[in-house]
Amino acid sequence: MTAPELETQILDAVDKFLERDVKPYVLEFEHADRYPEEMVEKMKSLGLFGSIIPEQYGGMGLPVTTYAKIVERVSAVWMSLSGIFNSHLIMAAAVTRFGTEDQKRKYLPKFASGEIRGGLALTEPNCGTDLQAIRTVARRDGDRYLVNGTKTWISNGIHGSCFALLVKTDPTAEPRHKGTSLFLAEKGPGFTVSRKLEKLGYKGIDSAELIFEDYAIPAENLIGGKEGFGLRHALGGLELGRINVAARGVGVAMAALDDSVRYAQQRETFGKPIAQHQAIQLKLADMATRVEAARHLTRAAAEAYDRGERCDMEAGMAKLFATEAALENSAEAMRIHGAYGYSKEFHIERYYRDAPLLCIGEGTNELQRILISRQLVARNPI
């Protein structure tokens, strides 16, 4: 089977899953903020938790270009589902790219099957974008480390069982990033989920606060086997994360557009469908253009990632544009739908609540602009 044929087969399977097992239940799960356990089991059987994990370790080994298309489709139906496997796959990517061979053999097959699921544990109560400012400390104690600190806004924190945990192994190191390390942290004594965090949107998926009190973690779980590379490993994973968030933005922007195009042909004012009013036509044209531009930027970033190139600028551009497109399209969709857009019986208000998160997560859009600018100068010296 050729690569395009395989991609078509996988995307068709994902579409059928979304149509049959997700779309009819989104409003129910969204309004109850209920974790979709049955949907997760279906995603396991589809292989989504191993989509980009190499085949030799039990995954599907899909290119990120295909993975981005999967995320776009899932997010157009219910964005929360994409977060359940996205954070998980960033953790898996860190192991794939930087882990020891023993770590790959031990963890990647279980990550791929969904037997072990989890995500990233980076953010802290006093530290978001500036990851060098983390305060969680891991102190060496024989053949293990003892971890103390708090992580917050951790996706899959309640239902996940293993996390890529960023800590300070040398709090006095200068520059600060040389004192960071990334561990695979499985739940156990000293690892506590203190509470579920309530959110404006992004319902269904659990976001939690994690507390570590003399949590013992084996030294063999230090990703790569050497201290001091944690920030590098985490940021390497965030390239993938930003492509994912960009794809989510495309999905949400597209859903807002599709619903608006449909509604504009059904709703009539002044004796004709509102799609025939110039004011609505201008909105639809801008919305469609944003979707296409966001999709092309996301694809370009994914292609660069697949080629093994540094793509923080491309991923940043895609993330910046696609998430702002989702935000703008969701607002315009609400205007087009009027009171119905404000109703919880429709999906528009969900897009409107979900979209702002995309502009914040995986590095704020303000940070993306700074990264893009710095890379632009670095790539074009005079």
The model's pTM: 0.95
Average pLDDT, the chain: 95
Contacts of 56 (CB under 8 A, 6+ apart): none
**CA–CA separation, 95 vs 184, rounded Å?**
9
pLDDT band at 5 (very low <50, low <70, confident <90, very high): confident
- Measured in degrees and rounded to the nearest 5, phi and psi for residue 271 equal 85, 10
Domains and CATH numbers, the chain: 3-113 (1.10.540.10), 119-228 (2.40.110.10), 232-379 (1.20.140.10)
pLDDT band at 129 (very low <50, low <70, confident <90, very high): confident
Asked whether residue 179 carries a pLDDT value surpassing 90, the answer given is: yes
Contacts of 42-46 with CB under 8 Å at 24 or more apart are 42/17, 43/17, 43/81, 43/84, 43/85, 43/114, 44/113, 44/114, 46/13, 46/14, 46/17
Given 209, 239, 332, 362, which residue is catalytic?
A: 362
**CA–CA separation, 326 vs 216, rounded Å?**
42
Whole-number pLDDT of residue 133: 84
Whole-number pLDDT of residue 235: 82
Query: What would the mean pLDDT of 141-151 be, rounded to a whole number?
Result: 97
In whole angstroms, how far apart are CA 215 and each of 126, 188, 191, 218?
21, 8, 6, 10
Whole-number pLDDT of residue 236: 79
In whole angstroms, how far apart are CA 272 and each of 265, 281, 285, 332, 364?
9, 13, 19, 20, 42
**CA–CA separation, 227 vs 261, rounded Å?**
53
Asked whether residue 280 carries a pLDDT value surpassing 90, the answer given is: yes
Asked whether residue 356 carries a pLDDT value surpassing 80, the answer given is: yes
Query: What would the mean pLDDT of 83-112 be, rounded to a whole number?
Result: 96
**Dihedral, CA atoms, 369, 299, 292, 257, nearest 10 degrees?**
-90
Cβ atoms 237, 315 nearer than 8 A: no
Whole-number pLDDT of residue 177: 80
Asked whether residue 146 carries a pLDDT value surpassing 90, the answer given is: yes
Query: What would the mean pLDDT of 218-227 be, rounded to a whole number?
Result: 96
Asked whether residue 128 carries a pLDDT value surpassing 80, the answer given is: no
Is 362 part of the annotated catalytic residue set? yes
